[in-house]
């Protein structure tokens, strides 16, 4: 049995999760990373994507997260996301809306830098949509 | 001297008013509980954000490559005051107090020869300020249709502030709102948003701890990513505090109003009874003296 550690998933509006878990997979900006107990201190920003949590029982819970960062410290892992929704509660329209907004951002972008960033967001969101469709 | 009928009408009308204020008080009490819950739910996020930023900021304090949101533009000529108030009145001194604090600050800044720009969030704040500082107000954001303040509302305001900052429309940004302490006490607060100040928290004592941290992407990029987010988070926190304060203020204001109405009803009722008795007495005297005259 895997050792457990404290995991907190917080959005500005509420604390979604605060409990002992076995493993978490976080969609970091520079790639997904898994966190187990006694991970070395680490901090990363996150990209829009699916965050996976494995509790003691072994089943994976999935959350859609967007914008924010993950902080691995001695006490455990904290993920602060601007938006965090359990995958089961996501409605397809919401995601479509988000994609549409992001596409508008691309169209509105004035300089290359913001445009590039906005395009990245669009592609990331589309990935998420694909992944959800497959599931 | 008002007639008996007048008195009766007045009692009826005060009673009707009392019913309304009583209902408003109860609605405010219910809303207050919800607002407080929302404010509490948001606290972990804001606190974590702050402690992480404080940790990161220590490393950048005083460095030339520190992000502009932290170091400022280098001068403090133009000030932006973000005044967050309620959309509705009838909540005691809530709106007035915030507006007063903002107005004092604006006046002292103007006296120092600085330029003041005001961004109003909430209609009542604008109403209170427009009389003497109307020409300084650059925009009013109304949240009238919004029932429960969500992060998206705050984010919108945060983005607006940021885009103004990027266009170099101002140098220093201060946010005004009321901190909720209890139902009877809400403290108007001024908080400087830009350039951001971080209290040197535990992060400073454990400098060794921050150095073993691994960052991905590097520290500068994380900080640059988090600072703009922090603005929205701070605005969100202010809006939630405000929402709780507003309901608290309204609750105590309406409690007072209900009590005053009760006092008034008592007084009017005594008056009414006294006059009724006087009338009966006069009628009796008339009858008796009429009978005696026969």
Across the interface, do B44 and A45 touch by the CB < 8 Å criterion?
A: no
Structure confidence at residue B208 (pLDDT): 43
As for how many domains chain B has, the answer is 2
Across the interface, do B45 and A45 touch by the CB < 8 Å criterion?
A: no
Q: What is the CATH number of the domain that holds A30?
A: 2.60.15.10
Q: Which residue of B has its CA nearest to A73?
A: B213
Question: Which of A8, A12, A27, A33 is the best substitution to test chain B (most B C-beta atoms within 10 A)?
Answer: A12
Same domain? For A102 and A60 the reply is no
Distance CA B99, CA B137 (A): 13
Structure confidence at residue A119 (pLDDT): 78
Distance CA B55, CA B187 (A): 29
Q: What are phi and psi of A48, to 5 degrees?
A: -60, 130
What is residue B87's three-state secondary structure? coil
Same domain? For B120 and B54 the reply is yes
Whether B91 is catalytic: yes
Same domain? For B15 and B140 the reply is no
| Domain membership of residue B260 as a residue range | 4-21+254-289
* Chain A residue numbers touching B226 (CB-CB < 8 A): 45, 69
Asked if B130 and B93 count as a contact pair (C-beta separation under 8 A), the reply is no
Distance CA B40, CA B38 (A): 5
Across the interface, do B222 and A45 touch by the CB < 8 Å criterion?
A: yes
Any CB–CB contact under 8 A between A11 and chain B? yes
Among B35, B91, B244, B254, the active-site one is: B91
* Chain B residue numbers touching A41 (CB-CB < 8 A): 209, 212-214
Structure confidence at residue B294 (pLDDT): 82
User: At residue B33, does pLDDT exceed 90?
Assistant: yes
Same domain? For B96 and B235 the reply is yes
For residue B79, give both structure tokens: 């000030």
User: At residue B207, does pLDDT exceed 50?
Assistant: no
Q: What is the pLDDT of residues B249-281, one digit of tens each?
A: 999 999 999 999 999 999 999 999 999 999 999
Asked if B154 and B137 count as a contact pair (C-beta separation under 8 A), the reply is no
Any CB–CB contact under 8 A between A94 and chain B? no
Across the interface, do A42 and B151 touch by the CB < 8 Å criterion?
A: no
What number of other Cβ atoms are within 10 A of residue B139's Cβ? 12
Structure confidence at residue A84 (pLDDT): 87
Distance CA B265, CA A38 (A): 70
Most trustworthy range by pLDDT among A24-28, A110-114, A124-128? A24-28
Same domain? For B79 and B166 the reply is yes
* Chain B residue numbers touching A13 (CB-CB < 8 A): 38, 41-42, 150-151
User: At residue A3, does pLDDT exceed 90?
Assistant: no
Q: Which residue of A has its CA nearest to B210?
A: A41
User: At residue B203, does pLDDT exceed 70?
Assistant: no
* Chain B residue numbers touching A68 (CB-CB < 8 A): 229
* Chain B residue numbers touching A101 (CB-CB < 8 A): none
CA B266 and chain centroid, separation: 35
Across the interface, do B41 and A42 touch by the CB < 8 Å criterion?
A: no
Across the interface, do B214 and A41 touch by the CB < 8 Å criterion?
A: yes
Q: How many residues does chain B have?
A: 294
Structure confidence at residue A96 (pLDDT): 79
CA distance A42 to chain B (A): 5
Same domain? For B190 and B100 the reply is yes
* Chain A residue numbers touching B45 (CB-CB < 8 A): 10-12, 15, 80
User: At residue A97, does pLDDT exceed 90?
Assistant: no
Across the interface, do A43 and B154 touch by the CB < 8 Å criterion?
A: no
Same domain? For B71 and B108 the reply is yes
Any CB–CB contact under 8 A between A28 and chain B? yes
* Chain B residue numbers touching A11 (CB-CB < 8 A): 45, 151
Q: How far is CA A101 from CA A68, A94, A95, A118, A133, in A?
A: 18, 11, 10, 10, 20
Structure confidence at residue A102 (pLDDT): 81
Pick from B54, B210, B48, B215: nearest CA to A80: B48
Confidence of residue B151 (pLDDT cuts 50, 70, 90): confident
As for how many domains chain A has, the answer is 2
Mean pLDDT for all residues in chain A: 83
Distance CA A127, CA B1 (A): 81
Give a yes or no: residue B27 inside a domain.
no
User: At residue B225, does pLDDT exceed 50?
Assistant: yes
Structure confidence at residue B265 (pLDDT): 96
Same domain? For A79 and A95 the reply is no
Same domain? For A44 and A67 the reply is yes
Any CB–CB contact under 8 A between A38 and chain B? no
User: At residue B200, does pLDDT exceed 70?
Assistant: no
| Domain membership of residue A121 as a residue range | 91-134
Same domain? For B186 and B283 the reply is no
| B201 or A38: which leads in pLDDT | A38
Confidence of residue B205 (pLDDT cuts 50, 70, 90): very low
Strand partners, A79: A9, A70
Q: Across residues A128-134, what is the average pLDDT?
A: 71
CB pairs under 8 A between A and B: 72
Confidence of residue B62 (pLDDT cuts 50, 70, 90): low
Distance CA A127, CA A120 (A): 11
- The dihedral of CA B128, B130, B131, B136: what is its sign? positive
Same domain? For A73 and A108 the reply is no
Same domain? For A69 and A123 the reply is no
Same domain? For A84 and A114 the reply is no
Same domain? For B263 and B198 the reply is no
What number of other Cβ atoms are within 10 A of residue B132's Cβ? 11
CA distance A66 to chain B (A): 12
User: At residue A68, does pLDDT exceed 80?
Assistant: yes
Q: What is the CATH number of the domain that holds B174?
A: 3.40.1380.10
């Amino acid at each position: 049995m895997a050792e457990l550690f404290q995991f907190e998933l917080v959005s500005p509006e509420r604390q979604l999760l605060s409990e002992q878990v076995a493993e978490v997979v976080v969609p970091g900006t520079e790639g997904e990373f898994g966190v187990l107990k006694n991970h070395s201190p680490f901090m990363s920003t996150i990209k829009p994507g699916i965050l996976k949590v494995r509790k003691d029982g072994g089943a994976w819970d999935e959350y859609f997260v967007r914008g924010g960062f993950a902080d691995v410290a001695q006490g455990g892992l904290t993920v602060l996301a601007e938006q965090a929704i359990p995958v089961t509660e996501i409605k397809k329209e919401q995601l479509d809306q988000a994609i549409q907004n992001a596409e508008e951002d691309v169209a509105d972008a004035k300089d290359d830098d913001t445009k590039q960033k906005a395009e990245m967001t669009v592609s990331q969101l589309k990935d998420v949509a694909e992944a959800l469709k497959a599931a | 001297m008002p007639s008996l009928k007048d008195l009766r009408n007045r009692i009826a009308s005060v009673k009707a008013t009392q019913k309304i204020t009583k209902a408003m008080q109860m609605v405010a009490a219910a809303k207050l509980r919800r607002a407080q819950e929302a404010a509490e739910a948001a606290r972990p996020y804001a606190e974590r954000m702050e402690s992480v930023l404080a940790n990161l900021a220590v490393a950048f304090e005083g460095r030339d490559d520190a992000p502009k949101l932290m170091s400022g533009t280098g001068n403090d000529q133009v000030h932006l005051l973000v005044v967050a108030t309620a959309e509705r009145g009838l909540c005691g001194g809530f709106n007035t107090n915030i507006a007063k604090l903002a107005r004092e600050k604006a006046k002292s800044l103007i006296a120092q020869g600085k330029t003041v720009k005001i961004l109003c969030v909430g209609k009542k704040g604008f109403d209170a300020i427009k009389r003497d500082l109307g020409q300084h107000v650059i925009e009013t954001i109304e949240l009238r249709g919004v029932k429960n303040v969500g992060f998206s509302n705050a984010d919108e305001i945060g983005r607006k502030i940021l885009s103004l900052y990027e266009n170099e429309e101002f140098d220093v940004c201060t946010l005004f709102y009321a901190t909720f302490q209890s139902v009877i006490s809400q403290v108007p607060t001024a908080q400087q948003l830009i350039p951001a100040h971080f209290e040197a928290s535990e992060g400073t004592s454990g400098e060794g701890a921050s150095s073993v941290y691994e960052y991905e992407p590097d520290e500068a990029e994380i900080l640059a990513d988090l600072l703009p987010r922090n603005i929205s988070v701070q605005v969100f926190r202010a809006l939630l505090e405000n929402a709780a304060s507003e309901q608290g203020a309204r609750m105590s204001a309406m409690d007072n109003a209900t009590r005053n109405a009760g006092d008034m009803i008592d007084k009017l009722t005594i008056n009414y009874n006294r006059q009724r008795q006087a009338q009966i007495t006069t009628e009796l005297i008339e009858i008796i003296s009429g009978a005696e005259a026969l």
